[in-house]
C-alpha cells in the first residue's frame, strides 16, 4: 500500500501529495460507490487515517496508492455496516476493479481531459444534462431520481451508463481534436 523504507514525510508534504492526488482517489471512490457524497466522506476519513499514520511514524512512499488501499477498506466497512453489497465486500470482482485502477491510474493529460469533458457537457441536450445534474450535482440516489421522473431505477441506471459511455467517446475524440456529434 505504498509503504517503503526511508525517511517519514512531514504532514505538510503528505497533505500536499494527498491534495494533488485527491481527484484520483475520489475518482476511485466514486467509481466504487456511485455516490459522490459518500465518496467525499470516505475521502475525508482516508485523510484522517493518513495523518494518523504519519503521527505513528509509518512511512508512506506513494500517498495515492496508500490512500486507495485505505479507501478500499473504508468502502468495505461502509458496505458491511449497511448490510448491502454482500456480493462485493470480499469478492474477486472488487480485486479486479482495484487492479484496473492500479494499472491505469495516472495523472496523464488530466487537465486536457477535464477541458474536453467540459466541452462535451456543454454540447449535451438539456434532458440528458438534467439527468446528470440530478445524479452528480444534486447527489440524488437512483431511487429518488426514479420517484421524481416516474421511471424505474434500473432504467435510469442504464440511461446514465449510456450517457457516460457517449461522454467518454466524446472526450476521447476531443482529445484527438476530432468533432463529435450526439446524434
Partner 1 sequence: MNISKVIDIWSRLREGLVVSQEEELSLRAWLATPENRKAFHSHLLLEGELNELLKESRSSAVTPQSKEAESQHYSSAPMLKVMRFPWKAVSSLAGLLIFAFLLSHLANLIHPPLQQNVAQVASLTGFPKISRGQLEWPMTKSSPLRMGDRISTGEKEELELLLKDGTLIWVGPRSSLVIPKDFQLNHNLELEFGHLHLDVAKREQNLKVSLSTMAIEVLGTRFTLLHHPQVGKEMVHLQDGQVRASISNGDRRVLTPGQELLIENSGPAQLQQKAPYRNLKGIVESASSSAIVLIDESNNKHELRLAHPQHEPAHSTVDLGVPSPGQSISLKLIAGPNRIIHWETLPATSTHYK
The yes or no reply on residue 59 touching partner 1 (CB under 8 A) is no
Q: Which of residues 106-145 bind partner 1 (CB under 8 A)?
A: 113-114, 117-118, 121, 129, 132-133, 136-139, 142
Query: Using only C-alpha atoms, what is the Rg of the chain?
Result: 19
- At CA 25, angle to CA 23 and CA 28, rounded to 5? 105
Q: Given the complex with partner 1, which of 136 and 182 has the nearer CB atom?
A: 136
Q: How many residues bind partner 1 (CB under 8 A)?
A: 67
Q: Please identify which residue in 12, 127, 177, 181 interacts with partner 1, judged by CB under 8 A.
A: 12
Q: Provide long-range contacts, Cβ within 8 A and 24+ apart, for 104-111.
A: 105/24, 105/28, 105/64, 105/68, 107/21, 107/24, 109/175, 110/23
**Phi/psi of residue 149, each to 5°?**
-105, 0
CA atoms of 163 and 10, how far apart (whole Å): 43
The yes or no reply on residue 32 touching partner 1 (CB under 8 A) is yes
Query: What residues line the site for partner 1 (CB under 8 A)?
Result: 10-12, 15-16, 19-20, 22-23, 26-34, 36, 39-40, 44, 47-48, 51-52, 55, 82, 84-85, 87-88, 92-93, 96-97, 99-101, 103-105, 113-114, 117-118, 121, 129, 132-133, 136-139, 142, 153-154, 157-158, 160-162, 164-165, 167-168, 171
Amino acid at each position: 500500500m505504498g509503504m517503503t523504507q526511508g525517511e517519514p514525510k512531514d504532514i505538510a508534504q503528505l497533505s500536499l501529495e494527498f491534495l494533488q492526488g485527491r481527484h484520483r482517489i475520489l475518482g476511485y471512490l466514486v467509481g466504487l460507490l456511485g455516490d459522490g457524497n459518500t465518496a467525499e466522506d470516505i475521502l475525508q476519513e482516508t485523510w484522517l487515517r493518513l495523518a494518523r499514520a504519519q503521527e505513528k511514524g509509518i512511512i508512506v512512499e506513494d500517498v495515492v496508492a496508500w490512500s486507495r488501499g485505505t479507501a478500499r477498506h473504508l468502502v468495505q466497512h461502509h458496505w458491511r455496516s449497511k448490510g448491502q453489497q454482500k456480493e462485493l465486500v470480499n469478492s474477486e470482482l472488487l480485486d479486479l476493479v482495484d487492479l484496473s485502477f492500479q494499472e491505469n491510474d495516472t495523472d496523464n493529460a488530466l487537465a486536457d481531459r477535464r477541458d474536453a469533458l467540459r466541452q462535451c457537457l456543454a454540447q449535451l441536450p438539456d434532458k440528458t444534462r438534467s439527468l446528470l445534474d440530478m445524479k452528480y450535482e444534486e447527489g440524488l440516489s437512483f431511487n429518488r431520481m426514479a420517484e421524481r421522473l416516474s421511471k424505474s431505477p434500473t432504467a435510469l441506471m442504464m440511461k446514465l451508463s449510456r450517457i457516460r459511455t457517449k461522454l467518454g467517446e466524446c472526450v476521447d475524440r476531443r482529445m484527438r481534436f476530432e468533432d463529435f456529434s450526439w446524434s
